């Protein structure tokens, strides 16, 4: 049996570029109003791929945002169990690495979307309240507005 690789042989710069390109591609697919099932499947696969390529960097911020994006893609793609799993991972990364209020707020936004996709409206509303409590601690006006818009959606 041939030896299986233990890592992907891409230069770190190329890995980061792929991670970012895939992340942005997921946004394009998430914003597609008449997304087909194939596009939904590609959106979720690309979110996982982006997170995979960020892994080598080990940057907690990138990893948390990758988990957030997987959660969101899964929530809007009709996969609430996966959405909740990745939202929880995002929150754990935020807590473990004391990330910014912006990222904490989005971790709770991801939990809210996952819970809503799972049909638990009461728990989703509580996650939105938790996220809103964080908004006032976000220093950047645009970041505050962005989170508020996503919480209103």
Read off the pLDDT of residues 89-112 as tens digits, 9 standing for 90 and up: 999 999 999 999 999 999 999 999
Average pLDDT, the chain: 95
Q: Which of 65, 61, 30 is nearest to 44 (CA)?
A: 30
Q: What is the pLDDT of residue 65?
A: 98
pLDDT in tens, 3-51: 787 777 788 899 999 999 999 999 999 999 999 999 999 999 999 999 9
* More confident call, 2 vs 102: 102
Q: Rounded to an integer, what distance in angstroms lies between the CA atom of residue 2 and that of residue 57?
A: 28
Which of 133, 120, 54 is closest to 89 using CA atoms?
Answer: 54
What does the pLDDT read at residue 101? Answer: 98
Dihedral angle sign, alpha carbons of residues 147, 148, 149, 151: positive
Q: Say whether pLDDT at 2 is over 80.
A: no
Rounded Cα–Cα distance for residues 12 and 89 (Å): 24
Using pLDDT thresholds of 50, 70 and 90, give the confidence band for residue 143. very high
- Residue 9's pLDDT is 74
């Amino acid at each position: 049996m041939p030896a299986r690789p233990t890592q992907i042989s891409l230069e770190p710069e190329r890995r980061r570029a792929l991670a970012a390109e895939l992340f942005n591609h997921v946004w394009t697919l998430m914003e597609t109003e008449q997304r087909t099932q194939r596009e939904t499947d590609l959106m979720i696969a690309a979110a996982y791929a982006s997170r995979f390529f960020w892994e080598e960097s080990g940057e907690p911020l990138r990893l948390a945002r990758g988990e957030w994006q997987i959660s969101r893609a899964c929530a809007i793609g009709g996969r609430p169990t996966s959405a909740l799993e990745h939202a929880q991972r995002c929150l754990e990364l935020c807590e473990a690495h004391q990330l910014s209020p912006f990222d904490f707020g989005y971790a709770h936004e991801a939990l809210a979307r996952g819970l809503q996709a799972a049909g638990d409206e009461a728990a989703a509303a509580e996650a939105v309240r938790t996220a809103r409590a964080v908004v006032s601690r976000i220093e950047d006006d645009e970041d505050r507005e962005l989170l508020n818009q996503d919480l209103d959606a």
